[in-house]
Amino acid sequence: MVEISRRQAIEDVASDLFREHGYAATSIRDIARALSVQGASLYAHVTSKEDVLWAIVDRAASRFEAAADRAGREAEARRPGDSAEAVAALVRAHVEVLTGDVDEAGVFVHEWRALGEERRAAILARRDAYETRFRRRIEAGIAVGAFDMTDPAIASTALLSALNGVATWYDPDGRLTAERIADHLVDLALRMLEGRA
Amino acid sequence: MVEISRRQAIEDVASDLFREHGYAATSIRDIARALSVQGASLYAHVTSKEDVLWAIVDRAASRFEAAADRAGREAEARRPGDSAEAVAALVRAHVEVLTGDVDEAGVFVHEWRALGEERRAAILARRDAYETRFRRRIEAGIAVGAFDMTDPAIASTALLSALNGVATWYDPDGRLTAERIADHLVDLALRMLEGRA
């Protein structure tokens, strides 16, 4: 238990530093300093800076996946087959994860490219699978006439890029609550998909 | 002239490597190797890796600014005061710059955070001013009833995030031409702003 919480503390501090200064500009020594320990003692818990990045990115990816799973199930239970409800639920779940831990989400969105080749490929595959959920939902909405015709691949990428932008500008003490931001983004997403019909 | 083109060659190769592997994972030695010169000889042209990043990011920012200036003037000449025309022109100009030099644009979008504090602040200010063009245009469109009511700050950020996503996935040899991608994104942007009216 002690080990787990120390590891968690390292990742939390690292998320904060990676988001603030970028992964490249942050050293293991910086992480140690923020934890008020010696750099050497950190190596009892982590083998490399990239390991810490991987832990953060992997956990964030799991959070997004779990939230989308749940959102999909709940939307289907509420309004079976309703495309707008399904997309709204996916958007809301994504924004909730992003704003729930803004450091972790920011690192996930911006710093995954700094991973080594193999881990980078693994995350890319998960990002693709995640995006496919959005694309399939958009395709299904177009097929039943709930959404205006568009290129589903471009629409899903554009939507996810727009949502991920939240990781850059969201401020927990800012003008809008996370919930209100999600409301706005759901509205913009549905306008975009439903079109001028 | 020789100096200028050598400098340009360094920046082109660096853009390519930074985009492919990330700024953090690329060394001056990697850049030298890609140019088939010694690392030491590169330092006759550049003082640091961050200098090269700054040159790329600064030039990309200037390209976006110049393209938006021109697009704004041209849209105003074509259809004075037309909000949809103005936003469409801004979107199209942005996508043209992004797809015109995908390495440079990718570095601009993803790697500016790796700049040192002062340069990072300078780029952030220019990004903010650039985004303000989009926001003002959206506000103006809402004011005259051309666009549906929304939060203009969220709408402009969402739109620019969606557009910047192109830097991640655009492939010059891909399924869609840059022009066709721009058409789709203009359509999605206007749907989003014009809403269900």
Tokens standing for residue A76 = 């289907």
- Give phi and psi for B23, each to the nearest 5: -60, -45
Compare all CA atoms of chain A with the CA of B197 and give the residue at the minimum distance. Answer: A196
The answer to whether the beta carbons of residues A107 and A15 sit under 8 Å apart is yes
CB environment A157-196: b (16+ within 10 A), e (fewer): bbbbbbbbbbbbebeeeeeeebeebbbbbbbbbbbbbbbe
Report residue A169 as tokens.
């500008």
Query: What would the two tokens of residue B154 be?
Result: 């969220």
Q: What is the pLDDT of residues A118-134, one digit of tens each?
A: 999 999 999 999 999 99
**What is the residue whose two structure tokens read 């970028």?**
A22
Cα angle: B61, vertex B63, B65; to 5 degrees: 70
Q: What is the crossing angle of helices A178-194 and A152-164, to 10°?
A: 160
pLDDT given at position A1: 47
Separation of alpha carbons A174 and A38, rounded Å? 35
Residue by residue, pLDDT tens for chain A (197 residues) are 455 688 889 999 999 999 888 888 899 999 999 998 887 788 888 889 999 999 999 999 999 999 999 999 999 999 999 999 999 999 999 999 999 999 999 999 988 888 988 999 999 999 999 999 999 999 999 999 999 999 999 999 999 999 999 998 999 999 999 999 999 999 999 999 998 65
pLDDT surpassing 70 at residue B2: no
- Asked if A154 and B181 come within 8 Å (Cβ–Cβ), the reply is yes
Instruction: Find out whether A105 and A123 touch, Cβ atoms under 8 Å.
Output: no
Give the closest residue to B92 by CA, choosing from B184, B17, B170. Answer: B184
Query: What is the per-residue pLDDT across B64-123, written as a single tens digit (0 to 9) for each?
Result: 999 999 999 999 999 999 999 999 999 999 999 999 999 999 999 988 888 988 999 999
Residues from chain A contacting residue B162 (CB–CB below 8 Å): 158-159, 161-162, 165
pLDDT in tens, B96-112: 999 999 999 999 998 88
Quickly tell me which residue has 């956990």 as its tokens: A59
Alpha helices in B79-116 (DSSP H): 83-100, 102-111
State whether A113 and B110 contact (CB < 8 Å).
yes
Place of tokens 């699978």: A129
Shortest distance between the Cα of A184 and any Cα of chain B, in A, equals 7
Domain A49-194 of CATH type 1.10.357.10: yes
Contact list, B168 vs chain A (CB under 8 Å): 161
User: Tokens representing B137?
Assistant: 């245009």
ipTM of the complex: 0.90
Chain B residues lying within 8 Å of A163, measured CB to CB: 158, 161
Residue B40 CB contacts under 8 Å (≥ 6 apart), including other chains: none
- The answer to whether the beta carbons of residues A86 and A76 sit under 8 Å apart is yes
**CB within 8 Å: A162 and B161:** yes
Among B168, B176, B170, B156, smallest CA distance to B91 is for B156
Q: Which two tokens stand for residue B9?
A: 């060659």
Torsion of CA A120, A125, A127, A132, to 10 degrees: 170
Could you give the dihedral angle defined by the CA atoms of residues B31, B36, B39 and B41, in that order, rounded to the nearest 10 degrees? -120
**CA–CA separation, B34 and B52 (whole Å):** 15
CB A64 within 8 A of CB A97: yes
Contacts of B2 (CB under 8 A, 6+ apart): none
